Amino acid sequence: MHNSRRSFIQQAGLLAAGMMLPGGLFAQTEKKGLSRNIGLQLYTLRDQLDKDVKSTIIRVAQIGYKEVETYYGYQGEKDKGTFWGLKPSELKALFQEYQLATPSGHYQLNDYLTRGNGDPAALQPQIDLAASLGQQYFIVPVLPLSLWDKKLTTDDYKFMAEQLNKAGELCKKSNLQIGYHNHYWEFKKLADSNTTGYEVMLKNTDPALVSFELDLFWAVKSGVDPLKLFSQAPGRFVAWHVKDMDKKNTASLTAAGNENKTSMQLLSGVSFAEVGTGSINFRQIFAQAKQAGVQHIFVEQDKITIDPFDSITKSYNYVKNVLVK
């Protein structure tokens, strides 16, 4: 367990360096089933939050965002039950002061989802944090880091599905629902079958307990059509991460020839774009929001090449004026 956690902290340093890296329901548009309250995954502004959390949150609210999604557990021992040095009660008060709702948060369950480990020690303390913030969705953000470069099998993903079901039961006691957020690994063909880990998790998790936060970028970047997912599992995608893809860099990460490349080799070559400036057909995807079941939309960008606040403003304006208009 300790080695796994140490590995997580080391890899998290790479995440923070930019290698790669859901409330009551709000009023929705009748046409699309979409909330007009656009959210931001705060990981997008991780560097700014580390420097000055209050001024960063003020800027987010001034741009027009109405929801924010937190993240926790990426910095190991540095987190210690706080968010950028703030206790949950202090962060909740800050959000309320600037009229920001936080329906969702990302929480680290690396050990808990690792087959052969399954350590639940991190689960309840983080559920308590999410409940303290008044969140409704407790989202697992990433595949356990120790599994990134392993040839995973159907049983590996069945174990994770079973663990998510168990966690879902526990979350329910705190009025939370657990959800899973994807990257590209979940869409790779499994070593022992012609299916993917994502399909296994969809099939083996209880819809009443486990939902999914679909990162649209990583799905498309993995050669997956989100519309097919919505058709296969309607209503299960309670939240989306909305970020665009560099038009000059659209090759699938699961394409032939990438099988033996390491995660870091692949992730280091990924590039992003502000929403509406890249290659993803968001109009087509947003037209199927009702079928997907989406209630919350979070803009996110893992790596930004312009001023971060200009970036999230451009993405916000496109989502607001084009996609949920």
Q: What is the pLDDT of residue 77?
A: 60
pLDDT band at 8 (very low <50, low <70, confident <90, very high): very low
Query: How many Å separate Cα 6 from the centre of its chain?
Result: 22
The answer to whether 204 and 156 have CB atoms below 8 angstroms apart is no
pLDDT > 50? residue 128: yes
Q: Which pairing describes strands 101-107 and 272-273: parallel, antiparallel, or unpaired?
A: unpaired
pLDDT band at 12 (very low <50, low <70, confident <90, very high): very low
Percent of the chain with pLDDT over 70: 89
The answer to whether 183 and 143 have CB atoms below 8 angstroms apart is yes
Q: What is the pLDDT of residue 32?
A: 53
pLDDT > 70? residue 40: yes
Question: Please, what is the Cα angle at 195 between 193 and 198, to 5 degrees?
Answer: 130
pLDDT > 50? residue 7: no
From 230, 228, 243, select the one nearest 303 (Cα to Cα): 243
Could you report the per-residue pLDDT of 235-249, keeping only the tens digit for each?
999 999 999 999 999
Could you report the per-residue pLDDT of 152-200, keeping only the tens digit for each?
999 999 999 999 999 999 999 999 999 999 999 999 999 899 999 999 9
The Cα 283–Cα 96 span in angstroms is: 32
Burial 125-135 (b: 16+ CB within 10 A, else e): ebbebbbebeb
Give, in order, the Cα–Cα distances in Å from 215 to each of 88, 91, 210, 238, 260: 26, 25, 16, 11, 24
| Residue 310 CB coordination number (10 Å) | 12
* pTM score of the predicted model: 0.90
pLDDT > 70? residue 6: no
Give, in order, the Cα–Cα distances in Å from 228 to each of 35, 80, 109, 215, 237: 22, 40, 28, 14, 12
The Cα 156–Cα 112 span in angstroms is: 13
pLDDT band at 208 (very low <50, low <70, confident <90, very high): very high
Q: Which pairing describes strands 272-273 and 244-245: parallel, antiparallel, or unpaired?
A: antiparallel
